[in-house]
Amino acid sequence: MDVLHALGFSEADLSSSTFDLVMADKSTPLLVIGEKEFTATYEGTAASITITFSPDISGLLLSWYDCISLGILHDGYPRPWKNSRHGMQINSLPTANRRKAPYVYDGIVPLDPSPDDIQRIGNDIARQFDDVFDQTGSLNCMEGPEMIIELTDDATPFYVNGSRPLSFADRPAVKKLLDDYVEKKIICPVTEPSD
Protein backbone atom coordinates (compact mmCIF):
# COMPACT_ATOMS: atom_id res chain seq x y z
CA MET A 1 0.00 0.00 0.00
CA ASP A 2 2.96 2.33 0.56
CA VAL A 3 3.89 1.99 -3.11
CA LEU A 4 0.30 2.62 -4.17
CA HIS A 5 0.10 5.75 -2.01
CA ALA A 6 3.51 6.93 -3.26
CA LEU A 7 2.09 6.76 -6.79
CA GLY A 8 -0.82 8.98 -5.68
CA PHE A 9 -3.53 6.32 -5.57
CA SER A 10 -5.61 4.52 -2.97
CA GLU A 11 -7.16 1.06 -2.87
CA ALA A 12 -10.38 2.53 -4.27
CA ASP A 13 -8.53 3.40 -7.50
CA LEU A 14 -7.68 -0.25 -8.17
CA SER A 15 -9.72 -2.44 -10.46
CA SER A 16 -10.42 -5.99 -9.38
CA SER A 17 -7.86 -8.47 -10.54
CA THR A 18 -8.52 -11.39 -12.84
CA PHE A 19 -6.97 -13.59 -10.16
CA ASP A 20 -7.44 -13.56 -6.39
CA LEU A 21 -4.08 -15.26 -5.89
CA VAL A 22 -0.88 -15.00 -7.92
CA MET A 23 2.39 -16.93 -7.84
CA ALA A 24 5.68 -15.04 -7.78
CA ASP A 25 8.77 -17.06 -8.64
CA LYS A 26 7.09 -20.40 -7.79
CA SER A 27 6.62 -19.30 -4.18
CA THR A 28 3.60 -19.42 -1.92
CA PRO A 29 0.50 -17.92 -3.58
CA LEU A 30 0.10 -14.20 -2.86
CA LEU A 31 -3.22 -12.51 -2.12
CA VAL A 32 -4.17 -9.85 -4.69
CA ILE A 33 -6.07 -6.72 -3.61
CA GLY A 34 -6.34 -5.23 -7.10
CA GLU A 35 -4.51 -4.01 -10.16
CA LYS A 36 -4.00 -0.80 -12.11
CA GLU A 37 -2.75 0.02 -15.59
CA PHE A 38 0.21 2.35 -15.91
CA THR A 39 2.51 3.55 -18.64
CA ALA A 40 6.03 2.73 -17.58
CA THR A 41 9.42 3.54 -19.09
CA TYR A 42 12.47 1.40 -18.47
CA GLU A 43 15.81 2.34 -20.06
CA GLY A 44 14.10 4.15 -22.93
CA THR A 45 11.41 1.51 -23.59
CA ALA A 46 7.83 2.58 -22.83
CA ALA A 47 4.99 0.10 -22.38
CA SER A 48 1.49 -0.06 -20.98
CA ILE A 49 1.67 -2.44 -18.03
CA THR A 50 -0.67 -3.76 -15.36
CA ILE A 51 0.71 -3.64 -11.84
CA THR A 52 -0.76 -6.11 -9.37
CA PHE A 53 -0.83 -5.03 -5.74
CA SER A 54 -0.57 -7.50 -2.89
CA PRO A 55 -0.32 -6.93 0.87
CA ASP A 56 2.11 -9.86 0.96
CA ILE A 57 4.93 -7.99 -0.83
CA SER A 58 6.63 -4.67 -0.34
CA GLY A 59 7.03 -3.24 -3.81
CA LEU A 60 5.56 -3.85 -7.23
CA LEU A 61 4.65 -7.16 -8.79
CA LEU A 62 5.16 -7.05 -12.56
CA SER A 63 3.95 -9.85 -14.78
CA TRP A 64 6.23 -11.84 -17.02
CA TYR A 65 4.57 -10.26 -20.08
CA ASP A 66 5.10 -6.72 -18.76
CA CYS A 67 8.77 -7.46 -18.08
CA ILE A 68 9.11 -8.60 -21.72
CA SER A 69 7.25 -5.48 -22.95
CA LEU A 70 9.67 -3.25 -21.01
CA GLY A 71 12.72 -5.17 -22.22
CA ILE A 72 13.65 -6.40 -18.73
CA LEU A 73 13.33 -9.99 -20.00
CA HIS A 74 13.89 -11.14 -23.59
CA ASP A 75 11.06 -12.41 -25.81
CA GLY A 76 11.90 -16.08 -25.37
CA TYR A 77 12.26 -16.04 -21.57
CA PRO A 78 12.74 -18.46 -19.75
CA ARG A 79 14.60 -20.05 -22.67
CA PRO A 80 18.23 -18.84 -22.92
CA TRP A 81 18.81 -15.58 -24.74
CA LYS A 82 19.92 -16.15 -28.32
CA ASN A 83 22.39 -13.44 -29.20
CA SER A 84 23.81 -12.56 -32.59
CA ARG A 85 26.68 -14.55 -34.11
CA HIS A 86 29.21 -11.76 -33.64
CA GLY A 87 31.88 -11.13 -31.06
CA MET A 88 30.89 -9.39 -27.88
CA GLN A 89 32.66 -6.49 -26.14
CA ILE A 90 32.69 -6.89 -22.36
CA ASN A 91 33.56 -3.68 -20.55
CA SER A 92 34.82 -3.78 -17.01
CA LEU A 93 35.14 -0.96 -14.53
CA PRO A 94 38.30 1.18 -14.37
CA THR A 95 41.44 -0.54 -13.08
CA ALA A 96 41.03 0.84 -9.56
CA ASN A 97 37.63 -0.87 -9.28
CA ARG A 98 38.19 -3.95 -11.41
CA ARG A 99 37.82 -6.42 -8.53
CA LYS A 100 34.16 -5.32 -8.26
CA ALA A 101 33.56 -5.55 -12.04
CA PRO A 102 31.11 -8.21 -13.22
CA TYR A 103 33.57 -9.50 -15.83
CA VAL A 104 37.29 -10.19 -15.64
CA TYR A 105 38.09 -9.61 -19.30
CA ASP A 106 37.44 -6.41 -21.22
CA GLY A 107 38.50 -7.49 -24.72
CA ILE A 108 36.64 -9.03 -27.63
CA VAL A 109 35.27 -12.51 -26.88
CA PRO A 110 34.34 -14.40 -30.09
CA LEU A 111 31.29 -16.65 -29.85
CA ASP A 112 33.23 -19.44 -31.57
CA PRO A 113 36.79 -18.93 -30.23
CA SER A 114 39.68 -20.68 -31.93
CA PRO A 115 42.43 -22.33 -29.84
CA ASP A 116 44.55 -19.21 -30.48
CA ASP A 117 41.73 -16.97 -29.19
CA ILE A 118 41.41 -19.09 -26.05
CA GLN A 119 45.16 -18.93 -25.45
CA ARG A 120 45.23 -15.14 -26.05
CA ILE A 121 42.28 -14.51 -23.70
CA GLY A 122 43.77 -16.78 -21.03
CA ASN A 123 47.10 -14.97 -21.23
CA ASP A 124 45.39 -11.56 -21.07
CA ILE A 125 43.42 -12.58 -17.97
CA ALA A 126 46.54 -14.03 -16.31
CA ARG A 127 48.42 -10.76 -17.00
CA GLN A 128 45.52 -8.64 -15.71
CA PHE A 129 45.34 -10.65 -12.48
CA ASP A 130 49.02 -11.49 -12.14
CA ASP A 131 48.78 -11.25 -8.34
CA VAL A 132 46.41 -14.25 -8.44
CA PHE A 133 48.10 -16.34 -11.13
CA ASP A 134 51.75 -15.69 -10.25
CA GLN A 135 53.33 -19.02 -9.32
CA THR A 136 56.99 -17.96 -9.18
CA GLY A 137 57.17 -17.53 -5.41
CA SER A 138 56.08 -19.62 -2.49
CA LEU A 139 52.45 -20.28 -1.70
CA ASN A 140 50.89 -17.46 0.31
CA CYS A 141 49.21 -18.22 3.60
CA MET A 142 45.44 -18.22 3.62
CA GLU A 143 43.96 -15.38 5.60
CA GLY A 144 41.28 -16.07 8.19
CA PRO A 145 40.72 -18.57 10.95
CA GLU A 146 42.37 -21.97 10.89
CA MET A 147 40.30 -24.59 9.09
CA ILE A 148 39.02 -27.43 11.25
CA ILE A 149 37.55 -30.63 9.82
CA GLU A 150 35.04 -32.21 12.16
CA LEU A 151 33.75 -35.72 11.55
CA THR A 152 30.27 -36.76 12.57
CA ASP A 153 30.03 -39.43 15.26
CA ASP A 154 28.83 -42.05 12.78
CA ALA A 155 31.64 -41.41 10.24
CA THR A 156 33.50 -44.52 9.07
CA PRO A 157 37.18 -43.90 8.25
CA PHE A 158 38.56 -45.41 5.06
CA TYR A 159 41.83 -45.30 3.23
CA VAL A 160 43.17 -45.91 -0.25
CA ASN A 161 45.22 -49.07 -0.21
CA GLY A 162 47.24 -48.46 -3.37
CA SER A 163 48.46 -45.69 -5.59
CA ARG A 164 46.07 -44.29 -8.17
CA PRO A 165 47.09 -45.37 -11.67
CA LEU A 166 48.41 -42.75 -14.11
CA SER A 167 48.81 -43.25 -17.81
CA PHE A 168 52.43 -43.52 -18.96
CA ALA A 169 51.99 -40.41 -21.10
CA ASP A 170 50.97 -38.29 -18.09
CA ARG A 171 53.58 -39.51 -15.60
CA PRO A 172 56.44 -37.07 -16.53
CA ALA A 173 54.12 -34.03 -16.33
CA VAL A 174 52.60 -35.19 -13.01
CA LYS A 175 56.06 -35.91 -11.56
CA LYS A 176 57.27 -32.42 -12.58
CA LEU A 177 54.14 -30.84 -11.07
CA LEU A 178 54.54 -32.74 -7.79
CA ASP A 179 58.25 -31.88 -7.64
CA ASP A 180 57.36 -28.19 -8.14
CA TYR A 181 54.80 -28.41 -5.32
CA VAL A 182 57.37 -30.03 -3.00
CA GLU A 183 59.94 -27.34 -3.89
CA LYS A 184 57.40 -24.58 -3.12
CA LYS A 185 56.50 -26.35 0.15
CA ILE A 186 52.87 -26.78 -0.88
CA ILE A 187 53.07 -30.52 -0.22
CA CYS A 188 55.63 -32.85 1.32
CA PRO A 189 56.34 -36.48 0.39
CA VAL A 190 55.29 -39.22 2.81
CA THR A 191 56.10 -42.94 2.73
CA GLU A 192 53.63 -44.12 5.35
CA PRO A 193 50.10 -43.18 6.51
CA SER A 194 49.88 -39.82 8.27
CA ASP A 195 47.26 -37.80 10.11
Span 42-83, pLDDT tens digits: 888 888 887 777 777 766 677 778 888 888 888 877 777 765
- pLDDT of the residue at 23: 65
- pLDDT of the residue at 83: 59
Q: What's the rounded Cα separation, in Å, for the pair 73 and 82?
A: 12
Q: What's the rounded Cα separation, in Å, for the pair 127 and 138?
A: 19
- pLDDT of the residue at 179: 92
Residues 6+ apart with CB under 8 A from 29: 21, 22, 23
Q: How many angstroms from the chain centroid is the CA of residue 156?
A: 35
Residue-wise burial string across 115-133, b where 16 or more C-beta atoms lie within 10 A, e elsewhere:
eeeeeebeeeeeebeeeee
Q: How many angstroms from the chain centroid is the CA of residue 34?
A: 35
Cβ neighbour number for residue 56 with a 10 Å cutoff = 15
Q: Could you tell me what percentage of the chain is helix, strand and coil, using 3-state DSSP and rounding each to the nearest 5?
A: 25, 15, 60
- pLDDT of the residue at 144: 81
Q: What is the pTM of this model?
A: 0.35
Q: What's the rounded Cα separation, in Å, for the pair 48 and 7?
A: 16
- Please name the amino acid found at residue 73: L
Q: Which residues pair with 88 in a beta bridge?
A: 109
- pLDDT of the residue at 164: 72
Beta strands in the chain (DSSP E): 21-22, 30-31, 34-42, 45-53, 61-62, 88-89, 108-109
Beta strands in 54-161 (DSSP E): 61-62, 88-89, 108-109
Give every residue of the chain whose pLDDT is below 50, as ranges.
Answer: 84-102
Q: What's the rounded Cα separation, in Å, for the pair 105 and 128?
A: 8
Pick the closest to residue 186 from 143, 148, 140, 132 (CA basis): 140
